[in-house]
Chain A
């Protein structure tokens, strides 16, 4: 029972990281039907920004904020420069471009920062928390991780639901043709979508890197799991992305805890395969309902 509690709470904490990556993928997929394979590379790159700032200034929060800001800027720049020309072309073009971006970003990081593993600091203690003498299997740092992603996801939901910008994002995601007819400048909306995706990727990067170390490929496996979470949620739904992330985190935490932790990434792929076999549209996709 004690173990079960630890695995559950620990799984929710790591699941929030997958949720952040999944959200960044969903933000781009909804608007453009582009799957951004470079999302992990972008998050790795912005984490290096944080690492440089923190090691020079010693100020964690300055590094944290600048990583998020550089995520916004990086997303916007990449959409405007490399992704925009693939719009309206075969989907394969955007797949190749974003995979190329991933290789480019990882290569560039290697050239600038070298390939060695760097440790990355945490904002809060990693010491396990206890409640009435019972170990919970999570730390203050885990609480911060979960809280930060939840707060960001909630803020996104509020923006989507209650602001003109959010209405633009949703109208463009559902019906870009209709949005254009009504005078919505969808080019700007798509840039904004990529910027927000860059922000969520950057958040995931700084939150997960203390547990993985920082190196040019450090986000690869996190990306795969974040992608799995997005697929579980249906790729279309922000709520699905968060739910998918938490579900995956908990399932993998049980699998790692009870079956052995060496194969966590493999378990993740098994989950992905199962979801694609049983319910390829995901658990929360509107696409299934729309086809009826």
Chain B
């Protein structure tokens, strides 16, 4: 099968300055799947996403998207290659309106028609954003902001979506909504999703596969259901 949106991280070594955070981490995700990345604070989950999107330059290893190695390219070029990274919290540009935030997401797209269609799609999928299109993004609630940053990432028509703690700080009802949305994106749009979560139970609930990071190494990797059923793993690393 053609696996145009597959993501393969091979033996990545990365860190900040002299501190190595990721120690030969590998991830393999097929097109149209959700992979949950779990682990405690400081395990290297966020650094893994930053290494894939180019904000941290890997010292070793490859990042293959649809078979092309993107490791060590600039973040803007990796974004243009179809990798959308939704960072944790604070991702909206509060000074711009909701619609302007969405339009920034489509700036890298070459086709004018696609940009307009993307905006329509976003408003259809998220009527809440359409109602607030002219408001400054800074006036949105935490849950609304999370919807906005995900909608904005979709504006670029990405192949791979990297989500960093999308449930952080959200009310339980909103968490369920966001998880539902991520599942829809996989099923409808065929996106390959890497989902970093503290909330392991919710993440494994929608994921196909999961992996657990501890101190920069992969300590477990399996089907989501198998991981969720592993009592020892849950007690040790996942906390539920």
Binding site for B on A (CB under 8 A): 164, 167-168, 170-171, 174-175, 177-186, 286, 290
Contact = CB atoms under 8 A, between A and B. Distances in A.
A168 B79 CA distance: 15
A167 B76 contact: no
B152 A182 contact: yes
Given A164-B107, A167-B107, A171-B104, A182 B79 contact: yes
7 closest Cβ pairs, A-B complex? A183-B108, A183-B79, A183-B80, A171-B104, A180-B75, A174-B95, A175-B93
Main secondary structure of the interface of A (DSSP, over half): helix
A180 B156 CA distance: 13
A182 B53 CA distance: 10
B62 interface: no
B50 to A, nearest CB: 10
Given A178-B91, A181-B79, A168 B107 contact: yes
A180 B76 contact: yes
A184 B96 contact: no
B94 interface: yes
A218 B74 CA distance: 42
Interface in B56-112: 74-77, 79-80, 84-85, 87, 91, 93-96, 100, 103-105, 107-108
A178 B107 CA distance: 12
Contacts of B87: 177-178, 181
Given A168-B104, A180-B75, A182-B152, 7 more contacts: A180-B74, A180-B76, A181-B84, A182-B105, A183-B79, A184-B108, A290-B94
B95 A181 contact: no
B104 A184 contact: yes
A272 to B, nearest CB: 26
A289 to B, nearest CB: 9
Contacts of B108: 182-184
A130 B108 CA distance: 54
Nearest to A183: B108
A276 B36 CA distance: 51
Report which residue of A170, A178, A183, A286 has the largest number of chain B beta carbons within 10 angstroms of its beta carbon: A183
B53 A181 contact: yes
Contacts of B152: 182
Given A182-B104, A184-B104, A170 B96 contact: yes
B95 A180 contact: no
B93 A171 contact: yes
A174 B100 CA distance: 12
A171 B103 CA distance: 10
B75 A181 contact: yes
B79 A167 contact: no
A177 B80 CA distance: 15
Contacts of B94: 174, 290
A179 B95 contact: no
20 contacts: A164-B103, A170-B100, A171-B104, A174-B94, A178-B91, A178-B93, A180-B74, A180-B76, A181-B55, A181-B79, A182-B84, A182-B104, A182-B107, A182-B108, A182-B153, A183-B79, A183-B80, A184-B76, A186-B76, A290-B94
